Every structure is written in C-alpha cells, then in structure tokens.
Amino acid sequence: MSEVTPPKGHPKGLYLLFFTEMWERFSYYGMRAILILFLTKQLLFDKAFASGGIYGSFTGLVYLTPIIGGYVADRYWGNRKSIFIGGILMAIGQFMLFFSGALDNIDTAKMLLYVGLAFLIFGNGFFKPNISTMVGQLYPENDRRIDGAYTIFYMGINLGAFFSPLICGYLGENIDFKWGFLAAGIGMLIGTVAFEIFKNKYLVSPTGESIGVLPNKARLKEGESGVSAKFTGTQYGILLGGGAGLYLLFNYVLGFDFFGSLIFALAIAIPTSIILDKSLSKVERSRILVIYIACFFVIFFWSAFEQAGASLTFFADEQTNRNVLGFNMPASWFNSFNAVFIVIFAPIFSYLWVKLNKAGKEPSAPRKQAWGLFLLALGYVWIAFGVKGVEPGAKVSIMLLTVLYLLHTWGELCLSPIGLSMVNKLSPARFASLLMGVWFLANATANKFAGILSEYYPEEQSRVASYPVANENIRIGENAIDWNSIPVSDRNAPAAMNKWTFTSVKVGDADSITALNAVEGGSYAVATDSFKVRRTYPEPLKKVELMKMEKRGETEAKFFGFMLDDNKQFGLLKQGKTVSTLEVWNLYPAPKSFMGFTIRSLYDFFMIFVVMAGVASIILFAISGKLRQMMHGVK
C-alpha cells in the first residue's frame, strides 16, 4: 500500500461529525441541565434518591451502553447505521420526557420519565462510541493531525453543550420543564437528519473510500489480515460468570443498588474478557493495558467533575447569588460555563501541545491526564475554602462556581480529548469501537459514583415523604378547610409557618393520607431555623404557572405549613384541583458520613473531592513514565 501524504487542514468529514455531535450534545446537556431540578421540583423526588437513584443511574447507564453499541458496530452494523438508529432512539426519549413534563398526574409522569430515560440510554449506546471512532478513520495512520482533530471535535461538540443549557434551561426553569425537553428532542433530530443526508458525500477515508459502512472487524490494520475478534468460551465465561459473581458481591455484600452493582461488575468483567483474547500480540496487550489504567484514573476525574449536574446544581440553585445586573440567572445556566470555557481554551491547548511537541517537551498522554486531575482538585480547593465558615442559607458569590468551572475545564482539556485520541491510536482496529466502549465504561462507573457521592450533599433540612390527600378529607377540627378563608400570610408566605400542628396523623403509616386533622399551635417558634423554612417553602409562582392553573380551574396556588408534634418535622400542604399534596420535611437531619468521615458542612463535602482527585493525580504522575514505555512508541 502506497504511503499517503496528508494534506494541510482537516477533511470536510470532520466538520460533519462535528455538526452531528454538536446537536447530540445540545440534546443531552440541555436535558441534563434541567433533569435534577425536574426530578426534585416537579416530580417531588427527594434529593438523595434523585441524585444517586435516578441521576447517577441514568448517567452511568448512558456511558455503559456504548460497550453494547461498540460491539454491534464492530461485528454487525458498522458506524453509520449505529449512529442513525441511536439518534432516532434518543429523539424519541426526549419527546417522552416532554410528555412526562406535560402531565399533571404524577404517577403517569414518573412512568413516562423512566421510559424516556431508557430510550436515551440505549440510543446513546449506539451513537456515542461510533461517532468518536469515525474521527480517527478520516486520517492516515499515525497522522499528527489526529490529536488536533479530536481537540477541534471536542471544541465543536461543546458549542452544543454551551447553547443547550441556555435554551433548554431557560425554557425549563422560567416557562415549563416540558418545553426544555422538547427543544432537546428537536436538536437531536436536526443532528441525525444532517448526518443521514451528507454522510455519503463527506465521510470518506484519505484514499476516497467510504468509512463506517462495514463492520469494524473488516477494517484491519496492516499485519492483522485474517485475524478474528471472536470471543472464546473462556472469555464468555469470564464475562457472564465473573460478571454475575461481581454483581452479587456489589449488591449483596457491599450494598450498592441494582444499577450500581451492574455497572461496577461489568466495569471489571468486560475489560478482563477483552484482554484475554488469544489473537492479541504482546505489544497490543501492553497498549490495551495502558488504556485500562487510564480508565481507572479517569473514574476519579469524572466522578468529581460530574457533580455539575447534581450537587453543584443544588448549590447553584440554593446558595449562589445568581443576580447579574438585575437578572436572576437560572441555576441550569451554570452548565454552560464549562462548555464556553472549552470553546475559548481548546484552541489554546491544541496550540500548546503542538508547540511542546516541536520543542520535544510534549507530555505523554498519561502525564496530561495527571495534570487534569490536579486541576480538578484545585477547583475543589477553591470552592471548599470559599464556603468555609459561611452561614447555612447564606448566598455566596457567583465567582466561586465560575472559577471552579474554569479550573475544571482546563483539567478536562488535559484529559478527555487526549484520552479519546489515545484510545483510537492504541486500539487494534478490530477492537476499535469496543475499546472506545471500554473508555466510556469508565465514564459509566464514574457517573454512577458521582450520583452516589452527590447523595452526601449536606442539607439543613430534607424532605422525608410526600403524600397525596383528597381535598375533601382535609380537616381543621371538625370542619373542612376553606382555603379561601385562610389568610394569604398563612398560605402563600412563610410568615406564619409555625401556626398549625398535626394532631391525628402518624406520618409513614400509609402511601396516602385519607384524613388530615390539625389545630392551631403557635407555641413553637422556628425563628432560629427560619432559613430552613424559607428553603422548604415554595417559591412564588411565575405568570405562566398561574396561567396554567387558571386553565385547570384554579385561581392561585394555596399552601400553608404545620409543625409536627415532635417539633423537628415540618409539614407543607399544597393545594391541587382535586387532590392536595402533603410534604413532610425533617428540619434536623442527622449529618451524613462517607467512609468514616462525617460531613457537617459544604466545606467537608467539597474536601472529599480534593482528597480523591489529588491522590489520584499524584499516583498517575508517579507511574506516567512506565505507562509511556508500555505504549511502545505511540505518542
């Protein structure tokens, strides 16, 4: 095969992949920006379950299914077909979330939520590993432009990640969550249709051949002719038997939930089954081991980085002064900070790597990743000391999150695009998409772990339960409550939240409350913990929400608060058209503990990530020289 002299610039196919991935990221990050707020504010999940049970499981599975999509593309479908099917499934998922947000029936809305998230999970599995793999196929082998191409690709997709929280977040928080999900679905369709129209024209190899049509097992590098990527019985035994045993260990011994146990088990079983493939040469196996070691360390990076969609969103929503020139910025907009910083700094980092390479001083990929972990830890050092000693409920400067996201972006630019390029260059061609799936498998583990860690976010009060109660069964003494007779100060403002006391309802006995009786209390004051009550109390409704209520025959929202008999729990009764909701809040939850470390404040919480990322950075720095040797000449 004659040597192909690479032309200057980049092939047009890169920009089609750039455009397609940009809209997919618009769809994903637009949905993610409002997901945790949708779960806690509209569907009324408590923060811990919303973080670890739903958000962590969803984002973990989003990065787990690429291992399936990668395998299917490698052996059966090829990249193109996988991308198209994945895009359609994800668009359907976003539209299901739209319908979930549009329904007043909370049980049906939750069912549609789970269905929509399932479509997104499987769609992403087919889409994600295959579009990343195709970037490398546009260039000749060992072309020095590949690193730059992945950085440009990474910068481009973040344009979508920048605009999506602004659009979907504004629609979701200021108008209605459903419109945010609808915008995300439309974005997914735009990217998928564009890919389908222009793929034949622009997605070609340096020699003019179409790429992504055949399964990747047919795309063998020189010297690999005739080598099969079939799994042996031993490999399947390790994958199935070992995976099952690890699942039982994580679930029944270590106490992780179903999805966490599944993800963590597969994160060990799948890479083990691949590395035992008998067709691998000694050099190939050594290079794959470098990928695996890098995957292990990026788990610590992403589990801290991905707090952006969970605990850091809670922090932005509750304790950050978001007033900018008189405009109260939606909390979801902070999800755009990382993306805009990437657009600004990706060309600078790309230029930096080129200059260092020419000077013979470019760090190896593992050392770049170690720098990424160090910058991540530095970001948490900044915010940890920024909130140290701050009174609970106090609003802090927007600069705390701004600088944190800046440092985290620099860390990401040292780690993520470099990692994608490294996997592409170190992978044998017959395992290209499958090993890209392993890279995303590390992200799956990290995202689930991120959700688990977010459960430790310290709360001054926590929602214990939410009960439906029919309006005709609400009683004060012997008389039904006349909502219109309750003064506005009692029902729509926190001024008299201590006025009522439960007398005949033992919370926790049933899924719903059939009769609610209360009498005036007034003997217990909540002045010393008023910030907790204010945070528990509903925010004033926006005009669009009042318009929605008027269409349903309701004139305005009505709610008022109770203190439970133990003087530690607080009840919040919210009126619906036919059924009201009683939320029970614990004003004095016990502090949480992580690996023996008690988390009493935000400072304690953020220091977990300082230690975790800092230690991982030091270790990776120490072994980066050995990893470079194991790469056998791959830069």
Question: Residue 496: which pLDDT band, with cuts at 50, 70 and 90?
Answer: very low
DSSP designation for 429: G
Bridge partner list, 476: 479, 518
Question: Residue 606: which pLDDT band, with cuts at 50, 70 and 90?
Answer: very high
Enter the tokens of residue 377: 């830890």
Extended beta strands in 263-394, E state = 323-324, 327-328
Q: Which CATH class is domain 12-219+279-458+604-630?
A: mainly alpha
More confident residue, 267 or 568: 267
- Asked whether 157 and 21 are in contact (CB, 8 A), the reply is yes
Q: Give the pLDDT confidence score for residue 307 in this predicted structure.
A: 92
CA 485 remoteness from chain centre: 45
Q: Give the pLDDT confidence score for residue 630 in this predicted structure.
A: 82
Distance CA 262, CA 64 (A): 10
- Tell me the domain boundaries of the chain: 12-219+279-458+604-630, 230-278, 462-586
Enter the tokens of residue 590: 């016990």
- Asked whether 91 and 26 are in contact (CB, 8 A), the reply is no
Angle separating helix axes 12-37 and 56-64, nearest 10 degrees: 160
More confident residue, 70 or 450: 450
Query: Does 3 have pLDDT greater than 60?
Result: no
Query: Mind listing the pLDDT tens digit for each residue in 239-294?
Result: 888 888 888 999 888 888 888 899 899 888 888 888 887 777 888 888 888 888 88
- Asked whether 329 and 316 are in contact (CB, 8 A), the reply is no
Distance CA 21, CA 4 (A): 28
Enter the tokens of residue 137: 């196929």
Residues 6+ apart with CB under 8 A from 591: 458, 598, 599, 600
Query: Does 50 have pLDDT greater than 80?
Result: yes
Q: Give the pLDDT confidence score for residue 501 in this predicted structure.
A: 52
Distance CA 475, CA 506 (A): 15
> Please, is 303 exposed, middle or buried when counting C-beta atoms within 10 Å of its C-beta (0-12, 13-18, 19+)?
buried
Q: What percent of the chain has pLDDT over 70?
A: 77
More confident residue, 38 or 439: 38
- Asked whether 451 and 572 are in contact (CB, 8 A), the reply is no
Enter the tokens of residue 490: 């009692």
The whole-number average pLDDT for the span 8-17 is: 78
Q: Give the pLDDT confidence score for residue 394 in this predicted structure.
A: 76
Q: Residue 459: enclosing H or E segment and its boundaries? A: none
Query: Mind listing the pLDDT tens digit for each residue in 497-530?
Result: 445 555 444 555 445 555 555 555 543 444 445 5
DSSP designation for 564: -
Q: Give the pLDDT confidence score for residue 475 in this predicted structure.
A: 55
Percent helix, strand, coil in the chain, to 5, is 65, 10, 25
Position 134, amino acid: M
Q: Give the pLDDT confidence score for residue 473 in this predicted structure.
A: 61
Query: Mind listing the pLDDT tens digit for each residue in 373-424?
Result: 999 999 999 999 999 887 766 788 999 999 999 999 999 988 876 777 778 7
Distance CA 376, CA 303 (A): 11
Cα separations in angstroms, 64 against 56, 322, 431, 447, 490: 12, 35, 17, 10, 49
Pairing type for strands 462-470 and 327-328 reads: unpaired
CA 295 remoteness from chain centre: 18
- Asked whether 274 and 438 are in contact (CB, 8 A), the reply is yes
Query: Mind listing the pLDDT tens digit for each residue in 181-191?
Result: 999 999 999 99
List phi, psi (to 5°) of 431: -115, 15
Nearest Cα to Cα of residue 575 among 472, 450, 487, 479: 472
Q: What is the pTM of this model?
A: 0.80
Query: Does 217 have pLDDT greater than 70?
Result: no
CA 248 remoteness from chain centre: 26
Distance CA 558, CA 158 (A): 42
- Asked whether 571 and 582 are in contact (CB, 8 A), the reply is yes
Query: Mind listing the pLDDT tens digit for each residue in 447-467?
Result: 999 999 998 988 777 777 777
Report helix, strand or coil for 280.
Answer: coil
Q: Give the pLDDT confidence score for residue 547 in this predicted structure.
A: 67
Angle separating helix axes 432-454 and 56-64, nearest 10 degrees: 170
Specify the residue for token string 């399964």. Answer: 215
Question: Residue 1: which pLDDT band, with cuts at 50, 70 and 90?
Answer: very low
Angle separating helix axes 399-426 and 106-137, nearest 10 degrees: 50
Question: Residue 487: which pLDDT band, with cuts at 50, 70 and 90?
Answer: low
List phi, psi (to 5°) of 215: -60, 150
Query: Does 439 have pLDDT greater than 70?
Result: yes
Residues 6+ apart with CB under 8 A from 349: 151, 410, 413, 414
What DSSP string describes 282-294? HHHHHHHHHHHHH
Residues 6+ apart with CB under 8 A from 546: 556, 557
The whole-number average pLDDT for the span 92-98 is: 95
Question: Mean pLDDT over all residues of the chain?
Answer: 79
Residues 6+ apart with CB under 8 A from 354: 148
Distance CA 27, CA 182 (A): 9
- Asked whether 602 and 258 are in contact (CB, 8 A), the reply is no
Q: What percent of the chain has pLDDT over 90?
A: 22
Query: Mind listing the pLDDT tens digit for each residue in 98-139?
Result: 999 888 778 888 999 999 999 999 998 888 877 877 877 777
Distance CA 242, CA 266 (A): 9
In angstroms, how far apart are the furthest CA atoms of the chain? 93
Nearest Cα to Cα of residue 210 among 297, 138, 289: 138
Pairing type for strands 500-502 and 516-520 reads: antiparallel
Distance CA 595, CA 613 (A): 16
Query: Does 297 have pLDDT greater than 50?
Result: yes
Output the CA torsion sign for 321, 322, 324, 327.
negative
